[in-house]
Amino acid sequence: MANITASDVIEYLYCPRFIYFMRCLDIPQHEEKRYKVQKGRDIHLIKAEVNKNYLRKKLNVVRKEINVPLNSEKYNIHGILDEILFVEDGSAMPFDYKFAEYKEKLFSTHFYQSNIYALLIQENFNAPVNKGFVCYTRSSNLVKEMNFSAKSFSDTQSLINDVVKVIETGYFPPKTKSANKCPDCCYKNICVR
Ligand code: SF4
């Protein structure tokens, strides 16, 4: 079965056809590399300050691990998580940095990504994960808290299955529901709409 990344799911949520072009036809996005380098530089400067000033004391964090590679055989997914915070009560929480401004719509995408990290943490560390955080570095390091539930985990699992289906069967998925994404899309010239 195809093993996917948390980022694949983000791409799928942006437009289901991205996965088809990237993973079935092997056509990369041109902007991808530049974005990642930029993100890395920015976040490197910010991480220490956010942690020091915010979460550790407030949430009784006793330990953290950074840049943690995680793999799930159960869900066929892997990824590298910016930080895992371990709490006094034995639970753990994903903490992810985004080189982005906070926007409600974007947050719902990041919510699913964090659910994936939560599933990965549960499987790799055998610790309950009930909440997580995303830090928006371009909104003055705004930290948004999110709560996970049985429903959010099962929705996330369905999403993972949808992405795997495209990769494994070559299924050409429907286009994005937001047609306003298409004019700026790097695949617009090859995407039949
Ligand atoms: S052109 Fe529109 S439908 Fe096609 S891949 Fe891009 S965003 Fe998706």
Domains of the chain: 4-184 (3.90.320.10)
Q: For residues 56 and 21, which has the higher predicted lDDT (pLDDT)?
A: 21
How far apart are the C-alpha atoms of 106 and 96, rounded to whole Å?
A: 14
- Ligand 1 atom closest to 191 (CA): 4
CA 76 to chain centre: 15
pLDDT at 34 over 80: no
List the one residue out of 37, 80, 89, 100 whose CA is nearest residue 59: 89
The band of 115, judged by pLDDT with boundaries at 50, 70 and 90, is: very high
Counting residues of the chain whose pLDDT is more than 70, the rounded percentage is 86
Residue 120's pLDDT band, with cuts at 50, 70 and 90, is: very high
Tokens of 18: 């991205």
CA distance 123 to 84: 13
Q: Whose CA is nearest to atom 3 of ligand 1?
A: 175
pLDDT value at position 17? 95
* Confidence label for 183 from pLDDT (cuts 50, 70 and 90): very high
User: What is the distance in A from the centroid of ligand 1 to the CA of 190?
Assistant: 9
182 lines ligand 1 (CB under 6 A): yes
- Whether 31 has a pLDDT exceeding 60, the answer reads no
Half-sphere exposure of residue 94, counting CA atoms within 13 Å on the CB side?
A: 32
The confidence band for 37, taking pLDDT boundaries of 50, 70 and 90, is: very low
Q: What is the pLDDT of residue 52?
A: 57
186 lines ligand 1 (CB under 6 A): no
- Which H helix or E strand runs over 108? helix 104-125
User: Which contiguous run of DSSP H or E holds residue 51?
Assistant: helix 32-53
Question: What average pLDDT does the segment 84-89 reach?
Answer: 95
Taken in order 24, 28, 32, 33, is the CA torsion positive or negative? Answer: positive
Residue 2 has pLDDT above 80, yes or no: no
